[in-house]
Structure 1
């Protein structure tokens, strides 16, 4: 589980499927097992408080984005509380109470996104994808000092999708951002056929 602060009142949490399985949550449970998700949310808020000092009291807007290839991204935004001045001790027994006033929105995205620290890794994975005849598609972004390759599953044969993910994972790491974040805070380098373009420009 990775937690990062986006602003004073907003955090982002990235859970891989291994994180979920460790907690007894299957991929499909994200949509149909509220009690399990409630326990998971309590754990996440405890960790956010411990690591970042993020106090999740008051109204919360919770955006959940499920990405079947990578895991689950949760963005928690804290609203204004009427009791903002109250000091709240975080005893274990308090965590059993329904202390969160949440508005939850859930989305699902099949887009495969991987981040690469060096452009050489983007070149290497593109060569491998082309050589293995897996895909020539994808969008390439620059974001937070890294290169992000986003591939739509609709542009990859279903029988080849796991092979594509396995190759991407060899050179990069799954990243917990959405297209909206990339468009707003990143830079589009190659809007289409990124794998083919990288291969054509750097194949020597």
Structure 2
């Protein structure tokens, strides 16, 4: 009688019943999708921020273009009526350059496209581009000749004018019937224009 063998064969186990071996890199299957999601979020955020920058740059360009167009249209409108000039001989007259005025005393001043900045009732008006760059134009019956023409300039009017450049009087407030700030400016500039003819443009 044969002796039973001590070497027993393990019973066969179906493959489906075995527990799968745990791989050491199992955590990668969770990490990779998270990294992919993070990358997508970063790209979307970068595109949105980049888009905002592009939009603001585009907006700045649009604003600059609109401003340039408006300036160009304004220039075109001015050039239709003639460019703004105020000269005596071949030299420009500027309120912010007293020498240009005093050097022109005794000469005939001519202005075209000059903007009226303010009016001194019964005495005259100021023309120029700003409070600093403006020249007083005497044009009233109280000073100089009696300019009793029907046209009375108003603030904002664009005018053509002609008249002699005269030296500032010792007391512009009394002679030209000006308020203190206007009188001080005429005195500092050293001259004004005594207009014989002023017309709207």
TM-score (ref. length: structure 2): 0.22
Greater fraction strand: 1
TM-score (ref. length: structure 1): 0.22
State the structure with more CA Rg. Answer: 2
